[in-house]
Chains A and B, each alone.
Chain A
Amino acid sequence: MKKLSSLRKHKFALPVLILVALSSLGFTFSAATAAPAKSQLAASAKSTLIAEGKELFLKGCSSCHGLNAEGGSIAPSLIGVGAASVDFQVGTGRMPMADMSQQAMRKKPLYTEEQTAALAAYVASLAPGPASLTNEEIEWERDGNTAEGGELFRNNCAMCHNFAGQGGALTQGKYAPTIMGVEPKHIYEAMITGPQSMPVFSDKTITVEEKLSIIKWIKAAEAEPNLGGASLGRVGPVTEGLLVWTFGLGLLIGIAVWLASKAR
């Protein structure tokens, strides 16, 4: 029978947070040894970033989220959501919302990467929350395991995002979007912050390594060629049935009409 409690490979089990911590430690170390003045410089650079972020926030976000990000009647408080949340929402173009529709859609980001970072730094400065990541920090190719990722994906993601990550319907017009073509860091940030309808997937119940495996599987699904011909959207039997009734039977009936007509 199925044994789900398969032993994990601990070979690559270095959580990314440790990696991040190590690298930042290394950075601080090298900065400290090179010139003590540099850390002061970094600190002041950070405060300028926050100031810049605050300015952007007041211009672009405060009308809904409040002057101090405390939230309003139409938008939630951003205190404590962390940089990860900002990076995800703004970086995928979901925020600022174009209109008050059912849910924020992925679209072309309005802010540049630097501006997004500034906004994230500002929101992170309000209260501690999950930190944002860069694509380089997420070593999914090295630390993930595709097959394991598939198991985790089917257990935790497929019920909303469909078996191939094509997205699916939720209640009252909400939907789980397709996750094809989403940057790895954004997938990761979505899992730890739980944007909109999506719940949070804690690092304790789905470990960092497991999250990387999920990303690796998603990327494999994204890159997977159409092994059996046109994919028909990878949404299951509905499009197959549609094709049979339109193209399949349509063509056959057309041929039958030709077959039964008199030649001239």
Chain B
Amino acid sequence: MTARERVAGNVANYVDERTGAAAWIKKNLNKVFPDHWSFMLGEIALYSFIILLLSGTFLTFWFDPSMKEVTYEGSYLPLKDVEMSAAYASTLHISFDVRGGLLMRQIHHWAALIFMAAIVVHLLRVFFTGAFRKPREFNWLLGIGLLTLGIVEGFLGYSLPDDLLSGTGIRIAEAIIQALPVVGSYLSFFAFGGAFPGEVFIPRIYTVHILLLPGIFLALITVHLMLVWYQKHTQYPGPGRTEKNVVGYPLMPVYMAKAGGFFFIVFGVTAFLGAVASINPIWLYGPYTPGQISAGSQPDWYMGWLDGLVRMAPPLETHAFGHTISWNILIPGLIIPGILFTGMALYPFIESWITGDKREHHLLDRPRNVPNRTALGAMSLTFMIVSLINGGNDIIATHFDLTINQIMWFTRFGLIILPPLAFVITKRICLSLQRADRELVLHGRETGRLVMLPHGEFVEVHEPLSAEKKWTLTQHEQPAAIELVQTDKGGVLNPKGIRAKLQARFSAANAEVVAKPTPDEVKQLEGGHH
């Protein structure tokens, strides 16, 4: 036994005698993780979060979350002797008078943008592959919660430096609060400690940004990961992969090395962005005052779709009985996002109601095999993208020789027309892909090689698929429509009439698929008939 082995043994012994952890650790070192690039998307989000904690902690050492007026005396000359809030001045101090401060600020901000982007693509992966199905509905809900909190957390961070751009963002947030019926102006005065902008808002959101929300994040992420661990990861279908097993690499050492290495890679890419690309150059924006504004004032991208919706809202306000309701703010700012996020959260339950499927699922769907879900995803995504485009309409207008009015009208109509169109097109694409799969299984791969048959006919040689490939393309089950039971056993009209009809209608739409080849069909064609 070498010295190193002896030390390791002693440490293990010491820990185990006090915790009895050996059995648990032994079991979990063999924990199996399937390997696929799309399973790393959530990890990008997780690692960005760690980067945010590290870089954020660094920034707190100098940041002064105060709206007290100070006169800037730091080394950035174009703002010398300008009166500004201590928050803005200390952000300038971090940027120009702390070595590596600007790098850390930029890493923090880039990591926030990557964090949100990674959450979104992770969510899309989970949605399109049906990974949210039983038993993973809790984790889907946790994910939606994390996404929502991420948007809030990001917006608060963007607001902290108290520059002209972020102050404008707060102004708009204040207008949304103020627009709430009955309680709006009260809530606004409570939040801002009086009239906007006041002197307390930034210290307050600072506490929320660095303590409350990160704490909730940590708790939710921990549960999110524990559930992944406990329920074991889903896997893509393929030969040897079933609902009853999980195929992959053990935690120790392969997964540890890959996941650990990937953390450094995500950090490295974020550091690279922080090193070479400027982000949120607050020194150019200037300090906030409500009387000033810059052309092209935008929020960060994860709020851009909301801003786009607000921009395209119709000018509607109700004035009645001495009260005002601002539909032009409430609909795009609260009602539509509310519907979207609630719908997203409820989707797993809605789908299982439509399909009537209450079984556990650990094998992922290929998106083409569930055309309705895939089309719905494409539809929602289109909605978001159209809104996002309008959120940057002024920048798009100046850079592509368009007018803001054109883009606004395009997105106003596009928001209604394009998502359903995306649904129809995506569903068609899914069905054609299914048909292509069927052809592939039955007739094999086109090789592009032409052969002349003895009687002079030219045919293209088709190379038959491997058994593995055939299995991958046909292993899924195809949904069947739920039969509508009009009457119960006694011949009485079904009491759940409308709900059942609705369910039958949806499940019929869900069952529109291209029949996959049966074993008989495959057998018949085997032997290479053209």
Tell me, yes or no, whether A and B come into direct contact in the complex with CB atoms closer than 8 A: yes
On chain A, which size bracket covers the interface? 35 or more
In the complex, what residue of chain B is closest to A257 when comparing beta carbons?
A: B37
| A residues less than 8 Å from B346 (CB atoms) | none
Contact B110 A173 (CB under 8 A): no
Main secondary structure of the interface of B (DSSP, over half): helix
Contact A243 B44 (CB under 8 A): no
Among A158, A244, A247, find the residue whose CB has the most chain B CB atoms closer than 10 A: A244
Residues B21-64 near A (CB distance < 8 A): 35-41, 44
Q: How far is the CB of B165 from chain A (nearest CB, A)?
A: 7
In the complex, what residue of chain A is closest to B292 when comparing beta carbons?
A: A154
Contact A238 B395 (CB under 8 A): yes
Residues A179-214 near B (CB distance < 8 A): none
Q: Say yes or no: is A237 at the interface (Cβ < 8 Å to chain B).
A: yes
Q: CB < 8 Å: which of A2, A171, A230, A249 contacts B403? A: A171
With A2-B69, A169-B296, A256-B40 given, is the CB distance from A147 to B276 under 8 Å? no
Report how far A139 CA is from B12 CA in the complex, Å: 77
In the complex, what residue of chain A is closest to B35 when comparing beta carbons?
A: A260
Report how far A200 CA is from B519 CA in the complex, Å: 81
Contact A167 B35 (CB under 8 A): no
Among A160, A175, A257, find the residue whose CB has the most chain B CB atoms closer than 10 A: A175
Q: How far is the CB of A45 from chain B (nearest CB, A)?
A: 43
| A residues less than 8 Å from B36 (CB atoms) | 260
| A residues less than 8 Å from B165 (CB atoms) | 163, 236-237
With A172-B403, A175-B398 given, is the CB distance from A167 to B295 under 8 Å? yes
With A163-B294, A252-B114, A260-B37 given, is the CB distance from A227 to B269 under 8 Å? no
Q: CB < 8 Å: which of A168, A236, A248 contacts B113? A: A248
Q: Say yes or no: is B337 at the interface (Cβ < 8 Å to chain A).
A: no
Against B, the Cβ 8 Å flags (1 = close, 0 = not) of A224-264 are: 10111111101111111101110111011101110111000
Q: Say yes or no: is A55 at the interface (Cβ < 8 Å to chain B).
A: no
Q: Say yes or no: is A215 at the interface (Cβ < 8 Å to chain B).
A: no
Q: Say yes or no: is A61 at the interface (Cβ < 8 Å to chain B).
A: no
Residues B474-510 near A (CB distance < 8 A): none
Q: CB < 8 Å: which of A151, A173, A260 contacts B397? A: A173
- Taking A159-B294, A163-B165 as known contacts, 10 extra A-B pairs with beta carbons closer than 8 A to each other, sorted by chain A number, are A159-B293, A169-B403, A228-B106, A229-B106, A229-B276, A237-B301, A238-B301, A241-B304, A256-B40, A259-B37
Q: Can you list 24 residue pairs at the A/B interface with Cβ under 8 Å? A: A4-B289, A147-B78, A155-B291, A159-B295, A161-B295, A163-B164, A163-B285, A163-B295, A169-B295, A169-B397, A227-B278, A228-B102, A229-B274, A234-B284, A241-B300, A241-B301, A243-B273, A244-B113, A248-B110, A252-B114, A252-B269, A255-B262, A259-B37, A261-B37
Binding site for B on A (CB under 8 A): 1-4, 6, 146-147, 150-151, 154-155, 158-164, 167-169, 171-173, 175-176, 217, 220-221, 224, 226-232, 234-241, 243-245, 247-249, 251-253, 255-257, 259-261
Binding site for A on B (CB under 8 A): 35-41, 44, 69, 77-84, 95-96, 102, 106, 109-110, 113-114, 117-118, 121, 164-165, 199, 258, 261-262, 265-266, 269-270, 273-281, 283-286, 289, 291-301, 304, 392-395, 397-398, 401-406
